[in-house]
Amino acid sequence: MTDVSGNQSGWLTRVLIREKWCWDSGEAGWRSDERQILIESRPISRLRIYSSYLLTGVLTSSITLFMMTFGLFIGQNSSLSDPFSWSAISRIFIGYWPLMLFIFGLLSVLTGWIPKATIIIYPVIIFDFIILMFGKLLQLDDWIMNLVSFHWG
């Protein structure tokens, strides 16, 4: 078998030297900086990158929401004399999980159609937080409270 230049002898050695394969370190393998270059040099579609970020975000948020619900159950179980059942506490997760997915979907659509407009989501989240935390204290009307997406859950 011949290599690209037509030489038959030593083609594997030239490839290993060209690719900086580390035989001298006592352990065969790529150096970490060259491995990173090889990983970053492969063509990866934007859809694959975006879907990996989106999947990581959805999984992390779902696990966090579930752990918050479970922590609430454990905390109230140890401190209340008449604690709520798991089915009552799990309604928090069941109520807020679709809303969380809706927010992720809204961000996905916004990122796909108008990428520079994704900055809009931060004022929405801040508005939601302020209205949820101080809405009853300020005695806001129901129609204002219904503007907040987390009030629906």
What is the domain extent for residue 28? Answer: 11-41
Buried b or exposed e, range 62-80, using 16+ CB within 10 angstroms = eeebeeebeeebeeeeeee
Q: Please tell me whether residues 70 and 126 are part of one structural domain.
A: yes
Q: Please tell me whether residues 68 and 97 are part of one structural domain.
A: yes
The identity of residue 94, as a single letter, is I
Q: Please tell me whether residues 30 and 77 are part of one structural domain.
A: no
Q: Please tell me whether residues 29 and 75 are part of one structural domain.
A: no
| pLDDT: which is higher, 142 or 31 | 142
Instruction: Give the SS3 label for residue 30.
Output: strand
**Interatomic CA distance for residues 153 and 142, integer angstroms:** 15
What is the reported pLDDT for 3? 45
Residue 25 has pLDDT above 60, yes or no: no
Q: Please tell me whether residues 81 and 50 are part of one structural domain.
A: yes
Q: pTM of the prediction?
A: 0.61
The pLDDT tens digits of the residues spanning 10-22 come to: 545 544 554 454 4
In a domain, 3, yes or no: no
- Give the Cβ contact number of residue 131 at 10 Å: 19
Extract the tokens encoding 120.
């809009």
Share of the chain above pLDDT 70, in %: 69
Q: Please tell me whether residues 119 and 57 are part of one structural domain.
A: yes
Q: Please tell me whether residues 54 and 19 are part of one structural domain.
A: no
